[in-house]
Structure 1
Protein backbone atom coordinates (compact mmCIF):
# COMPACT_ATOMS: atom_id res chain seq x y z
CA UNK A 1 0.00 0.00 0.00
CA UNK A 2 2.80 2.44 0.95
CA UNK A 3 4.64 1.70 -2.31
CA UNK A 4 1.50 2.32 -4.36
CA UNK A 5 0.97 5.64 -2.55
CA UNK A 6 4.57 6.74 -3.22
CA UNK A 7 4.22 5.88 -6.90
CA UNK A 8 0.91 7.75 -7.12
CA UNK A 9 2.45 10.83 -5.46
CA UNK A 10 5.34 10.72 -7.95
CA UNK A 11 2.86 10.59 -10.84
CA UNK A 12 0.97 13.60 -9.47
CA UNK A 13 4.24 15.58 -9.08
CA UNK A 14 4.85 15.25 -12.81
CA UNK A 15 1.25 15.83 -13.84
CA UNK A 16 0.91 18.94 -16.06
CA UNK A 17 -1.04 21.77 -14.50
CA UNK A 18 -3.82 21.45 -17.08
CA UNK A 19 -4.58 18.03 -15.56
CA UNK A 20 -4.85 19.25 -11.95
CA UNK A 21 -8.48 20.25 -12.41
CA UNK A 22 -9.31 16.83 -13.80
CA UNK A 23 -7.77 15.17 -10.77
CA UNK A 24 -9.43 17.37 -8.12
CA UNK A 25 -12.77 16.96 -9.90
CA UNK A 26 -12.32 13.17 -9.96
CA UNK A 27 -11.43 13.04 -6.26
CA UNK A 28 -14.29 15.38 -5.36
CA UNK A 29 -16.81 13.19 -7.23
CA UNK A 30 -15.40 10.05 -5.62
CA UNK A 31 -15.60 11.39 -2.04
CA UNK A 32 -18.52 13.80 -2.22
CA UNK A 33 -20.72 11.78 -4.59
CA UNK A 34 -21.43 14.70 -6.92
CA UNK A 35 -19.77 16.62 -9.72
CA UNK A 36 -17.51 19.57 -8.98
CA UNK A 37 -18.25 22.76 -10.90
CA UNK A 38 -14.77 24.25 -11.33
CA UNK A 39 -15.80 26.69 -14.07
CA UNK A 40 -18.45 28.37 -11.91
CA UNK A 41 -18.02 27.14 -8.32
CA UNK A 42 -20.89 28.00 -5.99
CA UNK A 43 -20.52 25.90 -2.86
CA UNK A 44 -17.80 26.28 -0.28
CA UNK A 45 -16.21 22.92 -1.04
CA UNK A 46 -16.25 23.63 -4.79
CA UNK A 47 -14.55 26.97 -4.20
CA UNK A 48 -11.86 25.25 -2.17
CA UNK A 49 -11.17 22.96 -5.16
CA UNK A 50 -10.94 26.00 -7.42
CA UNK A 51 -8.67 27.85 -4.99
CA UNK A 52 -6.29 24.91 -4.56
CA UNK A 53 -5.23 25.11 -8.19
CA UNK A 54 -5.79 28.80 -8.98
CA UNK A 55 -4.90 30.73 -5.82
CA UNK A 56 -1.13 30.96 -6.12
CA UNK A 57 -0.08 34.05 -4.17
CA UNK A 58 3.29 33.65 -2.37
CA UNK A 59 1.79 35.14 0.79
CA UNK A 60 -0.57 32.17 1.09
CA UNK A 61 2.41 29.83 0.91
CA UNK A 62 4.28 31.84 3.55
CA UNK A 63 1.35 31.85 5.95
CA UNK A 64 0.73 28.13 5.43
CA UNK A 65 4.27 27.51 6.72
CA UNK A 66 3.75 27.01 10.45
CA UNK A 67 7.24 28.31 11.22
CA UNK A 68 7.33 31.27 8.82
CA UNK A 69 3.84 32.46 9.83
CA UNK A 70 5.05 33.19 13.36
CA UNK A 71 7.05 36.30 12.40
CA UNK A 72 4.09 37.62 10.40
CA UNK A 73 1.69 37.09 13.32
CA UNK A 74 4.12 38.86 15.63
CA UNK A 75 4.18 41.84 13.25
CA UNK A 76 0.38 41.93 12.96
CA UNK A 77 -0.83 41.35 16.52
CA UNK A 78 2.22 40.82 18.75
CA UNK A 79 4.33 37.91 19.94
CA UNK A 80 2.29 37.40 23.11
CA UNK A 81 -0.27 35.45 21.05
CA UNK A 82 2.25 32.88 19.82
CA UNK A 83 2.52 29.46 21.47
CA UNK A 84 6.02 29.36 23.02
CA UNK A 85 8.48 27.23 21.08
CA UNK A 86 11.26 25.14 22.55
CA UNK A 87 14.57 25.49 20.74
CA UNK A 88 14.94 26.17 17.03
CA UNK A 89 13.41 24.58 13.93
CA UNK A 90 15.19 21.48 12.67
CA UNK A 91 15.81 19.99 9.23
CA UNK A 92 16.21 16.55 10.81
CA UNK A 93 14.83 14.99 13.96
CA UNK A 94 18.29 13.53 14.53
CA UNK A 95 19.49 17.03 15.47
CA UNK A 96 17.10 17.36 18.43
CA UNK A 97 18.62 17.04 21.89
CA UNK A 98 15.80 15.05 23.48
CA UNK A 99 17.44 15.04 26.92
CA UNK A 100 17.15 18.83 27.07
CA UNK A 101 13.42 18.84 26.32
CA UNK A 102 10.87 19.30 29.10
CA UNK A 103 8.80 16.32 30.25
CA UNK A 104 5.85 17.49 28.13
CA UNK A 105 5.86 19.08 24.67
CA UNK A 106 4.34 18.92 21.18
CA UNK A 107 6.51 18.07 18.16
CA UNK A 108 5.25 19.28 14.79
CA UNK A 109 6.16 19.71 11.13
CA UNK A 110 5.61 23.03 9.41
CA UNK A 111 4.57 21.98 5.90
CA UNK A 112 1.23 20.20 6.12
CA UNK A 113 -1.75 19.23 8.24
CA UNK A 114 -1.94 16.64 11.00
CA UNK A 115 1.83 16.32 11.30
CA UNK A 116 2.21 16.43 15.08
CA UNK A 117 2.70 14.30 18.18
CA UNK A 118 1.62 15.38 21.68
CA UNK A 119 3.98 14.11 24.37
CA UNK A 120 2.53 14.23 27.88
CA UNK A 121 5.45 12.48 29.57
CA UNK A 122 8.62 11.83 27.63
CA UNK A 123 9.63 9.05 30.02
CA UNK A 124 6.71 6.99 28.74
CA UNK A 125 7.44 7.22 25.03
CA UNK A 126 10.13 5.98 22.64
CA UNK A 127 12.32 8.73 21.25
CA UNK A 128 13.27 6.44 18.38
CA UNK A 129 9.62 6.08 17.38
CA UNK A 130 9.08 9.86 17.48
CA UNK A 131 12.30 10.44 15.57
CA UNK A 132 11.30 7.98 12.85
CA UNK A 133 7.83 9.50 12.54
CA UNK A 134 9.15 13.08 12.43
CA UNK A 135 11.78 12.24 9.82
CA UNK A 136 9.10 10.54 7.70
CA UNK A 137 7.16 13.82 7.71
CA UNK A 138 10.15 15.60 6.22
CA UNK A 139 10.08 13.32 3.17
CA UNK A 140 6.52 14.31 2.30
CA UNK A 141 5.42 17.09 -0.01
CA UNK A 142 1.94 17.63 1.38
CA UNK A 143 0.88 19.57 -1.73
CA UNK A 144 0.50 16.43 -3.78
CA UNK A 145 -1.90 14.62 -1.47
CA UNK A 146 -4.78 16.51 -3.10
CA UNK A 147 -3.17 19.49 -4.84
CA UNK A 148 -3.12 21.96 -1.94
CA UNK A 149 -0.40 23.81 -3.80
CA UNK A 150 0.28 26.39 -1.09
CA UNK A 151 2.42 23.71 0.55
CA UNK A 152 4.53 22.86 -2.51
CA UNK A 153 7.51 25.16 -1.94
CA UNK A 154 7.62 25.13 1.86
CA UNK A 155 10.97 23.86 3.17
CA UNK A 156 10.08 21.03 5.58
CA UNK A 157 11.12 21.61 9.18
CA UNK A 158 10.40 20.15 12.58
CA UNK A 159 9.68 22.41 15.53
CA UNK A 160 8.65 21.92 19.14
CA UNK A 161 5.98 23.83 21.06
CA UNK A 162 4.88 24.11 24.65
CA UNK A 163 2.10 21.63 25.41
CA UNK A 164 -0.90 23.87 26.12
CA UNK A 165 -2.71 20.92 27.68
CA UNK A 166 -0.52 21.43 30.74
CA UNK A 167 -2.51 24.57 31.54
CA UNK A 168 -5.94 23.13 30.74
CA UNK A 169 -8.40 21.10 32.72
CA UNK A 170 -8.46 18.04 30.49
CA UNK A 171 -9.45 19.67 27.20
CA UNK A 172 -8.13 22.26 24.77
CA UNK A 173 -11.01 23.68 22.70
CA UNK A 174 -10.07 24.74 19.19
CA UNK A 175 -11.80 27.83 17.77
CA UNK A 176 -11.68 27.97 13.96
CA UNK A 177 -12.91 31.30 12.58
CA UNK A 178 -14.14 31.34 8.98
CA UNK A 179 -13.25 34.78 7.65
CA UNK A 180 -14.33 36.21 4.31
CA UNK A 181 -12.99 39.55 3.11
CA UNK A 182 -11.52 40.20 6.55
CA UNK A 183 -14.75 39.57 8.47
CA UNK A 184 -15.74 36.59 10.61
CA UNK A 185 -18.87 34.85 9.35
CA UNK A 186 -18.95 31.80 11.59
CA UNK A 187 -16.67 29.37 13.40
CA UNK A 188 -16.14 25.75 14.16
CA UNK A 189 -15.59 24.90 17.82
CA UNK A 190 -13.90 21.57 18.45
CA UNK A 191 -13.86 19.98 21.89
CA UNK A 192 -12.60 16.65 23.24
CA UNK A 193 -9.82 16.87 20.66
CA UNK A 194 -7.28 14.91 22.67
CA UNK A 195 -5.89 12.28 22.45
CA UNK A 196 -7.57 11.34 19.13
CA UNK A 197 -8.40 14.36 16.99
CA UNK A 198 -10.80 12.48 14.71
CA UNK A 199 -12.91 11.55 17.76
CA UNK A 200 -13.48 15.21 18.60
CA UNK A 201 -16.88 16.87 18.77
CA UNK A 202 -17.50 19.77 16.40
CA UNK A 203 -20.10 22.49 16.51
CA UNK A 204 -20.78 25.29 14.03
CA UNK A 205 -21.51 28.67 15.61
CA UNK A 206 -22.45 32.04 14.16
CA UNK A 207 -20.35 35.15 14.75
CA UNK A 208 -22.29 35.84 17.98
CA UNK A 209 -21.46 32.33 19.24
CA UNK A 210 -24.92 30.87 18.80
CA UNK A 211 -24.94 27.17 17.93
CA UNK A 212 -26.21 26.65 14.37
CA UNK A 213 -28.27 23.64 13.20
CA UNK A 214 -25.45 22.34 11.00
CA UNK A 215 -22.57 19.97 11.56
CA UNK A 216 -19.81 18.05 9.81
CA UNK A 217 -20.61 14.49 8.80
CA UNK A 218 -17.10 13.33 9.76
CA UNK A 219 -17.29 14.52 13.39
CA UNK A 220 -19.61 13.90 16.32
CA UNK A 221 -21.75 17.05 16.55
CA UNK A 222 -21.97 19.39 19.51
CA UNK A 223 -25.72 19.42 20.16
CA UNK A 224 -26.03 21.91 23.02
CA UNK A 225 -24.97 25.51 23.36
CA UNK A 226 -21.61 25.83 25.11
CA UNK A 227 -20.22 28.73 27.09
CA UNK A 228 -18.73 31.60 25.13
CA UNK A 229 -15.19 32.61 26.20
CA UNK A 230 -15.20 35.74 28.34
CA UNK A 231 -12.85 37.53 25.93
CA UNK A 232 -14.56 36.25 22.80
CA UNK A 233 -14.77 39.75 21.29
CA UNK A 234 -10.97 39.91 21.43
CA UNK A 235 -10.78 36.61 19.54
CA UNK A 236 -13.02 38.09 16.83
CA UNK A 237 -10.80 41.17 16.68
CA UNK A 238 -7.67 39.02 16.25
CA UNK A 239 -9.22 36.78 13.59
CA UNK A 240 -10.38 39.76 11.56
CA UNK A 241 -7.02 41.50 11.89
CA UNK A 242 -5.18 38.43 10.63
CA UNK A 243 -7.63 37.79 7.79
CA UNK A 244 -7.46 41.31 6.30
CA UNK A 245 -6.78 41.25 2.57
CA UNK A 246 -7.80 37.63 2.00
CA UNK A 247 -10.92 36.57 0.14
CA UNK A 248 -11.10 33.67 2.58
CA UNK A 249 -8.95 32.17 5.30
CA UNK A 250 -9.70 30.17 8.43
CA UNK A 251 -7.96 31.57 11.51
CA UNK A 252 -7.51 29.04 14.31
CA UNK A 253 -7.16 30.23 17.89
CA UNK A 254 -6.94 28.68 21.34
CA UNK A 255 -8.14 30.22 24.59
CA UNK A 256 -6.48 28.87 27.73
CA UNK A 257 -7.84 30.38 30.94
CA UNK A 258 -8.39 33.68 29.13
CA UNK A 259 -5.03 33.63 27.36
CA UNK A 260 -5.48 33.65 23.58
CA UNK A 261 -3.02 31.77 21.39
CA UNK A 262 -2.69 31.72 17.61
CA UNK A 263 -2.96 28.24 16.08
CA UNK A 264 -2.66 28.51 12.30
CA UNK A 265 -3.95 30.07 9.09
CA UNK A 266 -5.79 27.55 6.93
CA UNK A 267 -6.57 28.24 3.27
CA UNK A 268 -8.18 24.95 2.22
CA UNK A 269 -10.15 23.51 5.13
CA UNK A 270 -10.22 19.73 4.98
CA UNK A 271 -9.01 20.03 1.37
CA UNK A 272 -12.70 20.73 0.61
CA UNK A 273 -13.45 17.01 0.80
CA UNK A 274 -16.04 16.79 3.58
CA UNK A 275 -19.79 17.10 3.93
CA UNK A 276 -21.88 19.51 5.95
CA UNK A 277 -25.22 18.28 7.24
CA UNK A 278 -27.71 19.51 6.11
CA UNK A 279 -25.95 19.93 2.77
CA UNK A 280 -27.40 23.43 2.30
CA UNK A 281 -24.72 24.86 4.58
CA UNK A 282 -22.11 24.14 1.89
CA UNK A 283 -23.90 26.62 -0.36
CA UNK A 284 -24.57 29.10 2.47
CA UNK A 285 -20.86 29.17 3.28
CA UNK A 286 -19.95 29.34 -0.38
CA UNK A 287 -22.14 32.42 -0.80
CA UNK A 288 -19.91 34.29 1.66
CA UNK A 289 -16.81 33.75 -0.46
CA UNK A 290 -16.23 36.31 -3.21
CA UNK A 291 -13.23 34.82 -4.99
CA UNK A 292 -12.24 38.28 -6.26
CA UNK A 293 -12.46 40.16 -2.95
CA UNK A 294 -8.79 39.62 -2.04
CA UNK A 295 -5.92 37.19 -2.35
Structure 2
Protein backbone atom coordinates (compact mmCIF):
# COMPACT_ATOMS: atom_id res chain seq x y z
CA UNK A 1 0.00 0.00 0.00
CA UNK A 2 2.80 2.43 0.84
CA UNK A 3 4.40 1.91 -2.58
CA UNK A 4 1.05 2.51 -4.26
CA UNK A 5 0.50 5.73 -2.29
CA UNK A 6 4.01 6.96 -3.17
CA UNK A 7 3.43 6.19 -6.87
CA UNK A 8 0.07 8.00 -6.96
CA UNK A 9 1.48 11.07 -5.25
CA UNK A 10 4.57 11.32 -7.45
CA UNK A 11 2.39 11.00 -10.56
CA UNK A 12 0.00 13.67 -9.20
CA UNK A 13 -2.93 11.37 -9.94
CA UNK A 14 -4.62 12.04 -6.61
CA UNK A 15 -4.84 15.18 -4.48
CA UNK A 16 -2.79 15.78 -1.35
CA UNK A 17 -5.99 16.00 0.65
CA UNK A 18 -7.16 12.61 -0.54
CA UNK A 19 -3.80 10.98 0.13
CA UNK A 20 -3.61 12.52 3.59
CA UNK A 21 -7.17 11.40 4.33
CA UNK A 22 -6.44 7.92 3.07
CA UNK A 23 -3.39 7.58 5.29
CA UNK A 24 -5.45 8.83 8.22
CA UNK A 25 -8.16 6.27 7.47
CA UNK A 26 -5.64 3.44 7.22
CA UNK A 27 -4.28 4.46 10.63
CA UNK A 28 -7.51 5.09 12.54
CA UNK A 29 -10.05 3.10 10.52
CA UNK A 30 -12.11 6.22 9.88
CA UNK A 31 -11.91 9.29 7.64
CA UNK A 32 -10.96 12.68 9.10
CA UNK A 33 -13.88 15.02 9.63
CA UNK A 34 -13.07 18.26 7.80
CA UNK A 35 -16.54 19.78 8.30
CA UNK A 36 -16.46 19.55 12.09
CA UNK A 37 -12.89 18.61 13.08
CA UNK A 38 -12.58 17.69 16.76
CA UNK A 39 -9.27 15.99 17.51
CA UNK A 40 -5.90 17.73 17.24
CA UNK A 41 -5.10 15.44 14.29
CA UNK A 42 -8.21 16.53 12.40
CA UNK A 43 -7.68 20.20 13.15
CA UNK A 44 -4.06 20.27 12.00
CA UNK A 45 -5.15 18.56 8.77
CA UNK A 46 -7.94 21.11 8.40
CA UNK A 47 -5.35 23.88 8.75
CA UNK A 48 -3.12 22.22 6.14
CA UNK A 49 -5.84 22.11 3.50
CA UNK A 50 -7.98 25.16 4.30
CA UNK A 51 -5.56 27.95 5.22
CA UNK A 52 -2.51 29.73 3.85
CA UNK A 53 0.47 27.57 4.86
CA UNK A 54 3.17 29.51 3.04
CA UNK A 55 4.79 30.49 6.35
CA UNK A 56 4.67 26.83 7.42
CA UNK A 57 6.99 26.13 4.50
CA UNK A 58 9.50 28.73 5.63
CA UNK A 59 9.48 27.57 9.24
CA UNK A 60 9.58 23.86 8.36
CA UNK A 61 12.71 24.46 6.28
CA UNK A 62 15.57 23.64 8.65
CA UNK A 63 17.69 26.30 6.96
CA UNK A 64 15.26 29.15 6.28
CA UNK A 65 13.72 28.88 9.76
CA UNK A 66 16.92 30.41 11.10
CA UNK A 67 15.87 33.78 9.65
CA UNK A 68 12.51 33.48 11.42
CA UNK A 69 14.32 32.75 14.70
CA UNK A 70 16.60 35.75 14.22
CA UNK A 71 13.69 38.02 13.34
CA UNK A 72 12.08 37.02 16.65
CA UNK A 73 15.23 38.12 18.49
CA UNK A 74 16.30 34.61 19.44
CA UNK A 75 19.49 34.17 17.41
CA UNK A 76 21.33 33.04 20.55
CA UNK A 77 19.47 29.71 20.61
CA UNK A 78 20.61 28.71 17.11
CA UNK A 79 23.32 26.08 16.71
CA UNK A 80 26.45 26.94 14.76
CA UNK A 81 25.98 26.37 11.04
CA UNK A 82 29.00 25.26 9.01
CA UNK A 83 27.40 25.34 5.59
CA UNK A 84 24.35 25.00 3.34
CA UNK A 85 24.72 23.10 0.08
CA UNK A 86 22.31 22.59 -2.82
CA UNK A 87 25.05 20.70 -4.68
CA UNK A 88 26.64 17.95 -2.61
CA UNK A 89 29.86 18.12 -4.63
CA UNK A 90 30.43 21.62 -3.26
CA UNK A 91 30.95 20.28 0.27
CA UNK A 92 34.61 20.57 1.34
CA UNK A 93 35.00 17.99 4.09
CA UNK A 94 38.61 19.00 4.72
CA UNK A 95 37.38 22.39 5.93
CA UNK A 96 34.82 20.96 8.38
CA UNK A 97 35.57 20.23 12.06
CA UNK A 98 36.15 16.65 13.16
CA UNK A 99 32.52 16.21 14.25
CA UNK A 100 29.30 17.69 12.86
CA UNK A 101 25.71 16.94 11.89
CA UNK A 102 24.54 16.49 8.29
CA UNK A 103 20.85 16.71 7.46
CA UNK A 104 18.44 17.67 4.75
CA UNK A 105 16.40 20.79 5.34
CA UNK A 106 13.09 19.17 4.43
CA UNK A 107 12.89 15.58 5.63
CA UNK A 108 12.46 13.27 8.57
CA UNK A 109 15.17 10.83 9.56
CA UNK A 110 17.57 12.17 6.93
CA UNK A 111 20.22 12.98 9.52
CA UNK A 112 23.78 11.77 9.97
CA UNK A 113 25.80 12.28 13.14
CA UNK A 114 29.45 12.41 12.11
CA UNK A 115 31.45 11.90 15.29
CA UNK A 116 34.80 11.50 13.52
CA UNK A 117 35.06 12.52 9.89
CA UNK A 118 38.29 10.54 9.41
CA UNK A 119 36.23 7.32 9.60
CA UNK A 120 33.84 8.40 6.85
CA UNK A 121 34.02 7.27 3.22
CA UNK A 122 33.48 10.59 1.45
CA UNK A 123 32.29 9.09 -1.83
CA UNK A 124 29.73 6.86 -0.14
CA UNK A 125 28.55 9.71 2.05
CA UNK A 126 28.05 12.04 -0.90
CA UNK A 127 26.12 9.34 -2.75
CA UNK A 128 23.75 9.02 0.21
CA UNK A 129 23.28 12.77 0.44
CA UNK A 130 22.54 13.02 -3.30
CA UNK A 131 19.90 10.34 -2.93
CA UNK A 132 18.32 12.19 -0.03
CA UNK A 133 18.07 15.37 -2.09
CA UNK A 134 16.17 13.47 -4.79
CA UNK A 135 13.51 12.16 -2.41
CA UNK A 136 10.20 14.03 -2.89
CA UNK A 137 9.46 14.52 0.79
CA UNK A 138 5.90 15.58 1.49
CA UNK A 139 4.25 13.76 -1.40
CA UNK A 140 4.20 10.34 0.22
CA UNK A 141 2.97 11.77 3.51
CA UNK A 142 0.38 14.09 2.00
CA UNK A 143 1.97 17.27 3.41
CA UNK A 144 2.08 19.86 0.60
CA UNK A 145 3.86 22.56 2.62
CA UNK A 146 6.98 20.37 2.64
CA UNK A 147 6.94 19.96 -1.14
CA UNK A 148 7.52 23.71 -1.58
CA UNK A 149 10.88 23.52 0.21
CA UNK A 150 13.92 23.58 -2.07
CA UNK A 151 16.02 20.65 -0.77
CA UNK A 152 19.55 21.26 0.45
CA UNK A 153 22.09 19.80 2.85
CA UNK A 154 22.64 21.65 6.12
CA UNK A 155 25.80 21.10 8.18
CA UNK A 156 25.72 22.13 11.84
CA UNK A 157 27.64 21.69 15.05
CA UNK A 158 27.09 18.48 16.97
CA UNK A 159 25.53 18.82 20.40
CA UNK A 160 26.52 16.16 22.92
CA UNK A 161 23.91 14.24 24.89
CA UNK A 162 24.09 13.49 28.60
CA UNK A 163 24.34 9.66 28.64
CA UNK A 164 23.06 9.52 32.22
CA UNK A 165 19.67 10.71 30.96
CA UNK A 166 19.42 9.52 27.36
CA UNK A 167 21.50 7.86 24.66
CA UNK A 168 20.48 10.72 22.37
CA UNK A 169 19.83 14.39 22.96
CA UNK A 170 16.68 14.92 25.00
CA UNK A 171 14.21 16.49 22.60
CA UNK A 172 11.79 18.80 24.43
CA UNK A 173 8.75 19.27 22.18
CA UNK A 174 6.44 22.07 23.26
CA UNK A 175 2.90 21.95 21.93
CA UNK A 176 1.61 25.48 21.39
CA UNK A 177 -2.08 26.15 20.74
CA UNK A 178 -3.27 29.68 19.96
CA UNK A 179 0.14 31.03 21.01
CA UNK A 180 0.19 29.35 24.42
CA UNK A 181 2.28 26.38 25.55
CA UNK A 182 0.05 23.47 26.54
CA UNK A 183 2.39 20.57 27.30
CA UNK A 184 5.87 19.20 26.76
CA UNK A 185 6.24 15.99 24.78
CA UNK A 186 9.69 14.54 25.47
CA UNK A 187 11.67 12.24 23.19
CA UNK A 188 14.69 10.30 24.46
CA UNK A 189 16.91 7.40 23.35
CA UNK A 190 16.24 8.14 19.70
CA UNK A 191 17.60 5.65 17.18
CA UNK A 192 17.61 7.42 13.82
CA UNK A 193 18.50 4.30 11.84
CA UNK A 194 15.53 2.33 13.17
CA UNK A 195 13.12 5.26 13.63
CA UNK A 196 12.59 4.40 17.28
CA UNK A 197 12.52 6.46 20.46
CA UNK A 198 11.02 6.66 23.94
CA UNK A 199 8.25 9.18 24.54
CA UNK A 200 6.57 10.73 27.55
CA UNK A 201 4.49 13.81 28.32
CA UNK A 202 4.72 16.42 31.07
CA UNK A 203 2.43 19.12 32.38
CA UNK A 204 3.71 22.68 32.54
CA UNK A 205 5.17 24.44 34.39
CA UNK A 206 5.21 21.92 37.26
CA UNK A 207 6.76 19.13 35.15
CA UNK A 208 4.49 16.28 36.22
CA UNK A 209 4.84 13.12 34.16
CA UNK A 210 1.49 12.06 32.66
CA UNK A 211 1.82 8.47 31.59
CA UNK A 212 -1.98 8.29 31.42
CA UNK A 213 -1.88 10.66 28.45
CA UNK A 214 0.08 8.14 26.40
CA UNK A 215 -1.58 5.39 24.36
CA UNK A 216 -0.67 1.81 25.42
CA UNK A 217 1.84 1.30 22.61
CA UNK A 218 3.84 4.36 23.68
CA UNK A 219 3.80 3.99 27.44
CA UNK A 220 7.27 3.90 28.99
CA UNK A 221 9.02 3.81 32.33
CA UNK A 222 11.41 6.24 33.93
CA UNK A 223 11.36 9.96 34.48
CA UNK A 224 13.19 12.78 32.72
CA UNK A 225 14.53 15.42 35.12
CA UNK A 226 12.98 18.87 34.84
CA UNK A 227 15.29 20.89 32.56
CA UNK A 228 17.01 23.78 34.30
CA UNK A 229 15.97 26.17 31.52
CA UNK A 230 12.33 25.06 31.32
CA UNK A 231 10.94 28.56 31.86
CA UNK A 232 13.19 29.90 29.10
CA UNK A 233 12.10 27.19 26.69
CA UNK A 234 8.43 27.87 27.45
CA UNK A 235 8.96 31.58 26.81
CA UNK A 236 10.84 30.94 23.56
CA UNK A 237 8.14 28.53 22.38
CA UNK A 238 5.41 31.11 22.91
CA UNK A 239 7.42 33.80 21.12
CA UNK A 240 7.93 31.51 18.12
CA UNK A 241 4.32 30.30 18.07
CA UNK A 242 2.77 33.78 18.11
CA UNK A 243 2.05 33.76 14.36
CA UNK A 244 0.39 30.34 14.27
CA UNK A 245 -2.76 28.75 15.74
CA UNK A 246 -0.90 25.46 16.08
CA UNK A 247 2.78 24.54 16.10
CA UNK A 248 5.13 22.26 18.01
CA UNK A 249 8.42 23.93 18.89
CA UNK A 250 11.37 21.69 19.78
CA UNK A 251 14.42 22.50 21.87
CA UNK A 252 17.51 20.86 23.34
CA UNK A 253 19.29 21.75 26.55
CA UNK A 254 23.05 21.17 26.73
CA UNK A 255 25.09 22.32 29.73
CA UNK A 256 22.23 24.59 30.81
CA UNK A 257 22.02 26.29 27.43
CA UNK A 258 18.94 26.11 25.22
CA UNK A 259 19.22 25.28 21.52
CA UNK A 260 16.46 25.45 18.93
CA UNK A 261 15.54 22.16 17.27
CA UNK A 262 12.72 22.66 14.77
CA UNK A 263 9.14 23.76 14.25
CA UNK A 264 6.54 21.18 13.24
CA UNK A 265 3.00 21.92 12.06
CA UNK A 266 1.73 18.48 11.03
CA UNK A 267 3.17 16.10 13.59
CA UNK A 268 3.33 12.59 12.12
CA UNK A 269 1.37 13.84 9.13
CA UNK A 270 -1.76 14.30 11.24
CA UNK A 271 -1.77 10.66 12.27
CA UNK A 272 -0.48 10.96 15.82
CA UNK A 273 -1.20 7.91 17.91
CA UNK A 274 1.15 8.77 20.79
CA UNK A 275 -1.69 10.15 22.87
CA UNK A 276 -4.93 8.56 23.98
CA UNK A 277 -8.11 9.44 22.10
CA UNK A 278 -9.21 11.48 25.12
CA UNK A 279 -6.05 13.61 25.00
CA UNK A 280 -6.32 14.07 21.23
CA UNK A 281 -9.88 15.32 21.72
CA UNK A 282 -8.90 17.56 24.62
CA UNK A 283 -6.05 19.13 22.64
CA UNK A 284 -8.37 19.60 19.70
CA UNK A 285 -10.91 21.28 21.95
CA UNK A 286 -8.31 23.79 23.10
CA UNK A 287 -7.38 24.75 19.54
CA UNK A 288 -9.77 27.47 18.36
CA UNK A 289 -10.00 27.62 14.56
CA UNK A 290 -13.41 29.29 14.41
CA UNK A 291 -12.10 32.69 13.33
CA UNK A 292 -9.29 31.53 11.04
CA UNK A 293 -9.53 32.83 7.49
CA UNK A 294 -9.52 30.25 4.71
CA UNK A 295 -6.45 30.78 2.58
CA UNK A 296 -6.18 27.76 0.27
Tell me, what secondary structure is at the counterpart of 1:246?
coil
Aligned to 1:242: 240
For 1:117 and 1:68, the matched residues in 2 are separated by 20
Pick from 102, 109, 115 the counterpart of residue 120 of structure 1: 115
Answering whether residue 167 of structure 2 is matched by residue 175 of structure 1, we say no
CA change 1:190–1:256 in 2 (3 A) is same
1:288 is aligned to 286
Contact 1:216 1:274 (8 Å CA) reproduced:
no
CA drift at 1:68: 0.7
* Residues in 1 aligned to 2:27 and 2:246: alpha-carbon distance in whole angstroms: 23
Alignment equivalent of 1:204, drawn from 191, 197, 201? 201
- Which residue of structure 1 aligns with residue 18 of structure 2? 22
- Structure 1 SS opposite 2:45: helix
Q: How far, CA to CA, are the matches of 2:55 and 2:129 in structure 1?
A: 26
CA distance in 1, matches of 2:215, 2:101: 27
Q: Supply the RMSD in Å over aligned alpha carbons.
A: 2.4
How far apart are the structure 2 equivalents of 1:273 and 1:35?
A: 11
Equivalent residue pairs, number: 288
Which 5+ residue runs of structure 2 have no aligned equivalent? Answer: none
Aligned-residue offset at 1:254: 0.5
Report whether the alignment pairs 1:49 with 2:45: yes
Tell me which residue corresponds to 1:67: 63
Separation in structure 1 between the aligned mates of residue 66 and residue 254 of structure 2, nearest angstrom = 19
Quote the Cα distance in structure 2 between the aligned partners of 1:250 and 1:232. 15
Deviates more, 1:247-256 or 1:44-53: 44-53
**What is the DSSP-based 3-state SS (H/G/I as helix, E as strand, rest coil) of the residue aligned with 1:276?**
coil
**1: CA distance, partners of 2:171 / 2:198:** 10
Distance in 2 between residues matched to 1:98 and 1:129, nearest whole Å: 13
> Which residue is 2:251 aligned to?
253
What are the superposed Cα offsets for residues 98-157 of structure 1, whole Å, 9 maximum, x if unpaired? Answer: 122222111011122222111112222322222122111211232212221111221111
Q: Give me the whole-angstrom Cα distance separating, in 2, the residues matched to 1:6 and 1:200.
A: 25
Tell me the alpha carbon deviations over residues 79-103 of structure 1, each in whole angstroms, 9 at most, x when there is no partner. 21001111x3111211101122222
Over 3 Å counting, the alpha-carbon distance change for 1:55 and 1:5 in structure 2 is same
Q: 1:92 aligns with which of 84, 87, 93?
A: 87
The partner residue of 1:103 within 98, 107, 113 is: 98
Q: Which runs of 5+ in 1 are unaligned?
A: none
Contact 2:60/2:263 (8 A) holds in 1: yes
- Report the Cα offset of residue 63 of structure 1: 0.9
Partner deviation per Cα, 1:167-222 (whole Å, 9 max, x = no partner): 64454100000001110001111111256573321101112221112225664x34
Stretch of structure 1 that moved more, 266-275 or 48-57: 48-57
Normalized against structure 2, the TM-score is what? 0.88
Following the alignment from structure 1 to structure 2, what is the Cα–Cα distance between the partners of residues 238 and 99?
A: 36
Question: Does the residue aligned with 1:285 lie in a helix, a strand or coil?
Answer: helix
TM-score (norm 1): 0.89
Tell me, what secondary structure is at the counterpart of 2:139?
Answer: helix
